[in-house]
């Protein structure tokens, strides 16, 4: 009798695109992290896909680096439950989190090596779980809610048609930024976002 055993996949670069699972959330502002991961996968091609550690994962090569592009299937405020097991499995891998940001204009990008959650519940949960703010994050601006609109409601709505066009361009640029990060060119990646911080 032969027992099939999954062969360990070499991974040196992890990208976590934050979002919420379910068809109701796919095209919402809060799921821009998923959009970026999908765009990067489209650009580089995918070797294999599966579901692991409470996430959907595409294995590929980014800038010739073995990578896993991960969409946590926990809800946003439990993103750390997906991130932690990946970090335990690949403790030497570089990793970056992609998330939406309501404090920036739609389509604006910001890449940092560390920072606070800025009130983002996904980033806050990851910070709590890994007990550190020292991780790379790429934020994609989705714009501020209009006066009188609750921020939580705003991010769970789809962008307008005009905003979606801008965000589509931003996801393409974000994928290019992530390629530079994978290649170890962090400063060049920051310059591509339009703001080196």
Q: Which of 15, 21, 28, 30 is catalytic?
A: 30
Q: Which residue has the tokens 């695109």?
A: 17
53 among known catalytic residues: no
Q: What positions carry a catalytic annotation?
A: 30
């Amino acid at each position: 009798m032969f027992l099939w055993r999954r062969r360990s996949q070499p991974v040196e670069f992890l990208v976590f695109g934050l979002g919420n699972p379910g068809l109701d959330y796919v095209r919402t502002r809060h799921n821009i992290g998923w959009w970026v991961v999908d765009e990067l996968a489209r650009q580089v091609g995918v070797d294999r896909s599966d579901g692991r550690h409470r996430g959907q994962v595409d294995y590929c090569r980014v800038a010739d680096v073995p990578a896993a592009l991960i969409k946590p299937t926990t809800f946003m405020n439990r993103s750390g439950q997906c991130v932690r097991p990946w970090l335990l499995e690949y403790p030497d891998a570089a990793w970056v989190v992609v998330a939406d940001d309501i404090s920036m204009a739609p389509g604006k990008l910001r890449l940092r090596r560390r920072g606070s959650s800025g009130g983002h519940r996904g980033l806050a949960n990851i910070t709590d779980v890994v007990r550190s703010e020292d991780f790379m994050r790429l934020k994609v601006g989705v714009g501020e809610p209009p006066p009188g609109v609750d921020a939580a409601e705003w991010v769970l709505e789809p962008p307008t048609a005009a905003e979606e066009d801008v965000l589509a361009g931003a996801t393409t640029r974000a994928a290019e930024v992530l390629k530079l990060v994978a290649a170890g060119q962090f400063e060049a990646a920051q310059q591509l976002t339009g703001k080196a911080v």
